[in-house]
Amino acid sequence: MARIAYILLCHKAPDEIIAQVGQLTAAGDLVAIHFDARAPVGEYLKIRAALDANPSVVFATRRVKCGWGEWSLVAATLAALKAAEAAFPRATHFYMLSGDCMPIKTAEYAHAFLDSEDADYIESLDFFESDWIKTGIKSERLVYRHMFNERRQPRLFYAALETQKRLGLTRTIPADLQVMIGSQWWCLRRRTVEAVLDFIAARPDVVRFFRRTWIPDETFFQTLVRHLVPGTEIRPRTLTFLMFSDYGMPVTFYNDHYDLLLAQDFLFARKISAEAQALKARLGTLYASTGVEFRLSNEGQSLYAFLTGRGREGRRFAPRFWEAETTLGRERELLIVTCKKWHVAKRLIARVRHCASLPAVAYLFNEEAADLPDLGGIQSTLEKRTRHRRALVRMLFDHFATDRLIICLDPGNIDLIQDFYADRSRTKMLEVQCGFSDHYLAGHARRVGLAGERTPAGVMARLLPTIRYDMAHESDRIRDAAFPGLFRIEEGRSPEENAAPLARFLSIPYDAAYEIAATDHLFAD
């Protein structure tokens, strides 16, 4: 059975470290601790006094003064790793943790998970080909020597970098290595750790190279594991759930994230807020529990992207210059139907085709499988359709040999709506207002990946008001934009009430509009 030796790097909060280590070892696992040499010696001695008698705990023999982005973090990791490898001969796996990490599964679950597959878990993507680095320098991390810390010594850091650039003082990456990059929160098998330590002892040139790279904890182990272990035995992912903002800062979890965290397909999570004492207590108790079943939904990343993206998208009002190079035609009329319930809009335009003989295309910018004719490849992907939207719609006018065309757009596509209104053609819009039950919103969340079939009820209950607000916000943005020729039909109105705006939108007689508005089950889910 798997037995985990946790490699714990920490630099503060001795009481929390003592509690964290106690929770991990109480479940039968092991811990090797490196406590930053920059921290007060009294805090270190407090940890030693509390844990020295615990046979499942070992301390790094040498404490390193650590600095973010420096080799010192790798040196500290190696010090704890060597101590663990020597002290715990029965450890099968070595798992990197920080003081901000907490388990989100039981030890029972973690051991079974690691037993299920003979593999190393380490995110390792090609340094040069991947887009893992979101901000800051990239190739400069490797090809120049870094002697200063960007955070503590920014002027010296960039002065040294610019001097090396001017003088052409680049260096060569070791020829036999393919540099990889990824999260520093890995879990390696014992034989992999032994192979890495043997390689380091035999290749001081590799250590010298990485010692002067920038942020080597994201490249050192990632590169060596990929170099030493067959790819079939590597799972390029971390088992620690962590997320980053658009600005590269780690997302912090709080007391109300308990259900969300347990539903993720990971063993640990970071960062847990220092103020989230209730969350830490619950997760600490969880680790030693047995017989717990976990319903994995794994919606954390997409949910965070949704919540942080609200209000940022669709704020551009003027068309880009490359989008303005084509026009639909001054004599043409584009009729936009916008509705959040796509099946309702599709039902509506099907009746319009039958009763008013108008060509219509549903959600061509939202659905890859939209019913489109072959237009020479411009229709092949959503990206192409969106990039060349005016050209695409102009070609649809030509294909149907018409001057009037209906398209369906999601209310969230306000940038597309604004762009079509900016064209010289005549544009009108019909907003179809629907009611949204909790059942429908839950289904919507699952369809778009914000939730899964096993998302906990508590998480879903907190998510639904946010989705409901977001849908209302999309409708408000459309109204606030004051588009000319905007008409509205609503689910709660009678066919007689909806027929009038529908007739004006389609420019058809009232009786024909009434026939459409009276369609059986038009608004049904």
One domain for residues 276 and 351: no
In a domain, 302, yes or no: no
One domain for residues 345 and 400: yes
Give the count of beta carbons closer than 10 Å to the beta carbon of residue 458.
13
- The secondary structure of 38-55 as a DSSP string is TS-HHHHHHHHHHHTT-T
| Residue 269, domain extent | 4-296
One domain for residues 16 and 136: yes
**pLDDT 10s per residue in the chain (525 long)?**
899 999 999 999 999 999 999 999 999 999 999 999 999 999 999 999 999 999 999 999 999 999 999 999 999 999 999 999 999 999 999 999 999 999 999 999 999 999 999 999 999 999 999 988 877 899 999 999 999 998 889 999 999 999 999 999 999 999 999 999 999 999 999 999 999 999 999 999 999 999 999 999 999 999 999 999 999 999 999 999 988 765 556 788 888 888 889 989 999 999 898 888 889 999 999 999 999 988 887 777 776 666 555 544 443 333 433 344 467 888 899 999 999 999 999 999 999 998 988 999 999 999 988 889 888 788 888 888 888 899 899 999 989 999 999 999 999 899 899 999 998 899 999 999 998 888 888 888 887 777 777 778 877 888 888 888 888 888 899 989 899 999 999 999 999 999 999 999 999 999 999 999 999 999 988
Report whether 102 contacts 265 (CB < 8 A).
Answer: no
Strands (DSSP E) contained in 285-349 are: 333-338
In a domain, 317, yes or no: no
Report whether 332 contacts 397 (CB < 8 A).
Answer: yes
472, with CB counted inside 10 A (0-12, 13-18, 19+), is exposed
One domain for residues 118 and 171: yes
In a domain, 316, yes or no: no
- Nearest to 307, CA basis, from 464, 481, 475: 464
Residue finishing a domain among 296, 323, 346: 296
What is the structure's pLDDT at 313? Answer: 45
Give the CATH number for residue 363.
3.40.50.300
One domain for residues 12 and 127: yes
- Nearest to 435, CA basis, from 479, 492, 474, 477: 492
What is the structure's pLDDT at 249? Answer: 65
One domain for residues 288 and 337: no
One domain for residues 64 and 126: yes
In a domain, 523, yes or no: no
In a domain, 306, yes or no: no
Residue finishing a domain among 268, 296, 324: 296
Give the CATH number for residue 64.
3.90.550
Q: Which amino acid is at 29?
A: D
What is the structure's pLDDT at 136? Answer: 81
In a domain, 338, yes or no: yes
Separation between Cα atoms, residue 35 and residue 354, nearest integer Å: 74
In a domain, 197, yes or no: yes
Residue finishing a domain among 242, 272, 296: 296
One domain for residues 221 and 338: no
Count: domains in the chain: 2
CA torsion through residues 416, 417, 421, 422, sign: negative
One domain for residues 452 and 497: yes
**pTM score, whole prediction:** 0.63
One domain for residues 343 and 221: no
One domain for residues 276 and 407: no
- The secondary structure of 370-426 as a DSSP string is ------TTTTSSHHHHHHTHHHHHHHHHHHHT-SEEEEEE-TT-HHHHHHHHTSSSE
In a domain, 8, yes or no: yes
One domain for residues 223 and 351: no
Report whether 299 contacts 456 (CB < 8 A).
Answer: no
